[in-house]
C-alpha cells in the first residue's frame, strides 16, 4: 500500500509522477467494488474510534483547483456517522485570523478524542498560495516547514493520527474540469474567475508543492501523492490508506464491567 507514501527525505519531482497512473488497481470495476467495501470498513472503524474516545484522526486534503478534494470527502466520508466527523474548509484568512499566527485557526479545528477531522485545504496553504503570491517574505514561509513538522509532531504525541493527501492531477485534466464547470450550469457555481489566474501559476504551484511535500513528509505525519486524474482511483487509494491505517491501530470497544445489572 505504501506505493504512494512519500518516505522522509525523498526528493519529489511531480513531473515524474503520472497523474493517470493506477498501479494499485488492475480494473476500474474491481476497484469500485473494493471501494464500497472499504467505505463499509471505514464506517466500522469510525464507530470504534468514537467508542474508544481516545485517539483523534486528522486527514489533510490538498491539491490544485478541481483536483477533487470535495469529491474525495463525499466518497470517503459517505459511511461515517456525522456526529463523529467534521469537515473544515480553509479559505482566505479573515483579518482576525491574519492578526494571529497562521497555525492559530488550524489548531482550533484539530480533532478531539474519538473524532475525525478532514481539512479541505489546511496550514499547507501557508507555504503554497502564500509562497506563490509572496504574501509574506521568503524567510518567513521557509521557517514554516519546521514549524509545521513540530506542530504535527505535537499533535501525534497527543494521540492524533495525521494523514496527508496531495491529489495529483495534470494541467490538462484541470483544463477539462474547469471548462466543464463553465459549460455545465449545475457546476458553474464552483467556478471563480480567480481560478484562471491561479492556473497560469501552475509551475510555481508545482514547485511549492514539491518543496512542501519533501520537507514535511515525516515518519509521524506522512504525505501520500495520489494520482488523481481518475476519480475512481483517487477515491480507492484515499479510502484504502485511511482504512489500513485505522486497522493497524487494533482498536477495540472499551471493556466495561457492569456486574450483573438487570433492566427491570
- Cβ nearer to ligand AMP, comparing 5 with 199: 199
Q: How many degrees, rounded to 5, is the angle at CA 219 between CA 243 and CA 252?
A: 35
The nearest distance, CB 12 to ligand AMP, in angstroms, is 20
- Cβ nearer to Mg ion, comparing 65 with 152: 65
- Cβ nearer to ligand AMP, comparing 200 with 255: 200
d(CA 60, CA 57): 10
d(CA 251, CA 57): 13
- Cβ nearer to ligand AMP, comparing 194 with 259: 194
List contacts with ligand AMP (CB under 6 A): 89-93, 121, 125-126, 129-130
- Cβ nearer to ligand AMP, comparing 91 with 193: 91
Residue 173 touches which of ligand AMP, Mg ion, none (Cβ within 5-8 Å per kind): none
Segment interacting with Mg ion, rule: CB under 5 A, options 25-33, 58-66, 77-85, 124-132: 58-66
The nearest distance, CB 126 to ligand AMP, in angstroms, is 5
Residue 93 touches which of ligand AMP, Mg ion, none (Cβ within 5-8 Å per kind): ligand AMP
The nearest distance, CB 195 to Mg ion, in angstroms, is 6
The nearest distance, CB 199 to Mg ion, in angstroms, is 11
Q: Residue with the closest Cβ to Mg ion?
A: 65
The nearest distance, CB 85 to ligand AMP, in angstroms, is 19
- Residue owning grid cell 493527501: 165
Segment interacting with Mg ion, rule: CB under 5 A, options 4-12, 34-42, 63-71, 77-85: 63-71
Contact 38, 202 (CB under 8 A): no
Query: Site for Mg ion (CB under 5 A): how many residues?
Result: 1
Considering only residues 65 to 94 of the shown chain, the ones binding Mg ion according to CB under 5 A are 65
- Cβ nearer to ligand AMP, comparing 115 with 126: 126
- Cβ nearer to ligand AMP, comparing 39 with 106: 106
The nearest distance, CB 166 to ligand AMP, in angstroms, is 14
The nearest distance, CB 194 to Mg ion, in angstroms, is 8
- Within 8 A by CB and 6+ apart from 218, the residues are 8, 149, 152, 153
Q: Report the interface residues with Mg ion, using CB under 5 A.
A: 65
Amino acid at each position: 500500500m505504501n506505493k504512494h507514501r512519500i518516505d522522509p527525505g525523498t526528493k519529489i519531482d511531480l513531473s515524474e509522477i503520472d497523474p493517470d497512473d493506477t498501479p494499485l488497481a488492475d480494473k476500474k470495476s474491481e476497484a469500485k467494488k473494493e471501494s464500497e467495501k472499504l467505505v463499509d470498513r471505514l464506517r466500522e472503524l469510525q464507530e470504534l474510534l468514537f467508542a474508544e474516545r481516545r485517539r483523534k484522526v486528522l486527514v489533510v486534503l490538498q491539491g490544485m483547483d478541481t483536483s477533487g478534494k470535495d469529491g474525495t470527502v463525499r466518497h470517503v466520508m459517505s459511511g461515517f456517522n456525522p456526529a463523529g466527523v467534521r469537515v473544515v474548509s480553509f479559505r482566505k484568512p479573515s483579518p482576525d485570523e491574519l492578526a494571529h499566527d497562521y497555525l492559530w485557526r488550524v489548531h482550533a479545528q484539530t480533532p478531539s478524542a474519538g473524532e475525525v477531522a478532514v481539512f479541505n485545504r489546511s496550514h499547507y496553504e501557508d507555504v503554497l498560495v502564500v509562497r506563490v503570491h509572496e504574501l509574506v517574505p521568503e524567510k518567513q514561509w521557509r521557517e514554516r516547514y519546521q514549524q509545521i513538522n513540530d506542530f504535527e509532531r505535537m499533535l501525534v504525541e497527543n494521540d492524533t493520527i495525521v494523514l496527508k493527501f496531495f491529489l495529483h492531477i495534470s494541467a490538462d485534466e484541470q483544463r477539462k474540469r474547469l471548462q466543464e464547470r463553465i459549460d455545465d450550469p449545475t457546476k458553474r457555481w464552483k467556478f471563480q474567475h480567480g481560478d484562471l489566474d491561479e492556473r497560469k501559476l501552475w509551475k510555481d504551484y508545482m514547485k511549492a508543492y514539491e518543496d512542501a511535500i519533501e520537507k514535511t513528509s515525516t515518519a509521524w505525519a506522512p504525505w501520500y501523492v495520489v494520482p488523481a486524474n481518475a476519480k475512481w482511483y483517487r477515491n480507492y487509494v484515499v479510502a484504502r490508506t485511511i482504512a489500513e491505517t485505522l486497522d493497524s491501530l487494533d482498536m477495540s470497544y472499551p471493556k466495561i464491567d457492569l456486574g450483573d445489572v438487570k433492566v427491570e
